[in-house]
Amino acid sequence: MDAQDCQAAATLGPPGPAAHGCVAAWWDMVDRNLRSFPHSCSTLGRKIAALCDSFTSKSLKEHIFPPLIDMLIYFNFFKAPFLVDLKKPELKIPHTVNFYLRVEPGVMLGIWHTVPSCREEDAKGKDRCWYEAALCDGNPIIVYLHGSAEHRAASHRLKLVKVLSDGGFHVLSVDYRGFGDSTGKPTEEGLTTDAIRVYEWTKARSGITPVCLWGHSLGTGVATNAAKVLEEKGCPADAIVLEAPFTNMWVASINYPLLKIYRNVPGFLRTFMDALRKDKIVFPNDENVKFLSSPLLILHGEDDRTVPLEYGKKLYEIAHNAYRNKERVKMVIFPPGFQHNLLCKSPTLLITVRDFLSKQWS
């Protein structure tokens, strides 16, 4: 120690009790951390081992197939048309307002409400509150449940909404969870919940005005799932329209054009069905209609290649046999030219729907 060190030590003096206490506390903390280090490593090791076991206990196809099936069934990642501001429906269709409905924690649905064309002048400059109050104006209401892919601004959906609006209907175009700008992840149970919540929200504001569930393609499965739950609650839907329905998703998926080419691949069919079961994707229209009492109208195009006409006919047969009041079930087949998405172009669509519903609601 040199002279400067000695002088510094003399100036500082010996450490006091407080300094001794701080040093002791510091060494005690170090000791505890060193003692817990092996335990922390052991816990981390067990977690890593559990994750490895979870991954290796399943085959690669079990990791890949369920997410792949979800993509193929819902196709919600394809959010066309692109560059559309869903908050501004007036840029796509007149007398329409956008709003959001919270159906459960973490799930907010985007919805477009289009009022009947006869109220176009009244709707100019009005806010959401006016649109909501208009639901009880006596004009019938349709909750539109679309098919897979795209969102509520898809061109063929807008064409249908315009036809229905011109025919005197309110239309609520719903994007399920995970579609469009709606939050959440699509599942069969989730989509069913979405439809039920929107229907109940609408009924609570419609007074005595009837509300119809209209499902197209995938939406037919959502509609009958929801209708069955409403039936079990003792408040059946006022009416149901199924456009291009299938019997159940298992049958419809196997015959889906995109998947037909893989049907002869060894093991594909079994793996595919296992994935559907794992993700609980059924949408059993053929079972649901057996429990319904609501007026049921089935619409199908003769040249529909996505969901062949035979499925619609089979579903009608099941429903007609199950319904006590046979007059409550009807099927209308449209001539070639409209395929899967364009029944809205048929000049007889609107009159067909209005005639059926007016008779049922009279």
Residues 52-106: pLDDT tens digits? 454 444 544 455 566 777 888 899 999 999 999 999 999 999 999 999 999 999 9
Question: pLDDT per residue over 299-354, tens digit each?
Answer: 999 999 999 999 999 999 999 999 999 999 999 999 999 999 999 999 999 999 99
Q: Is residue 248 pLDDT above 50, yes or no?
A: yes
Cis, peptide link before residue 81, omega less than 30° from 0: yes
Q: Which of 70, 175, 238, 304 is catalytic?
A: 304
In the set 217, 253, 294, 346, the catalytic residue is 217
Task: State the chain's mean pLDDT as an integer.
Answer: 87
Q: Is the pLDDT of residue 204 over 80?
A: yes
The C-alpha angle 244, 285, 231, rounded to 5 degrees, equals 120
Question: What confidence score (pLDDT) does residue 265 get?
Answer: 76
pLDDT band, residue 124 (cuts 50/70/90): very high
Model confidence at 163: pLDDT above 90 = yes
Kindly tell me the sign of the dihedral angle through the C-alpha atoms of 316, 321, 325, 327.
Answer: positive
Mean pLDDT of 240-266: 83
- Residue 70 a catalytic site member: no
**pTM of this prediction exceeds 0.75:** yes
Which residues have CB under 8 Å from 55's CB, separation 6+? 63
Q: What is the pLDDT of residue 255?
A: 73
Residue with tokens 């209708």, as numbered in its chain: 227
Q: What is the mean pLDDT of residues 128-147?
A: 98
% the chain with pLDDT above 90:
71
pLDDT tens per residue across span 22-45:
556 655 665 665 555 555 556 655
Give me 54's structure tokens. Answer: 């979870």
Tokens 């559309």 appear where?
84
Catalytic residue among 165, 170, 340, 346: 340
Residue 250 has pLDDT above 60, yes or no: yes
The answer to whether residue 217 is catalytic is yes
CA 108, distance to chain mean position in Å, is 11
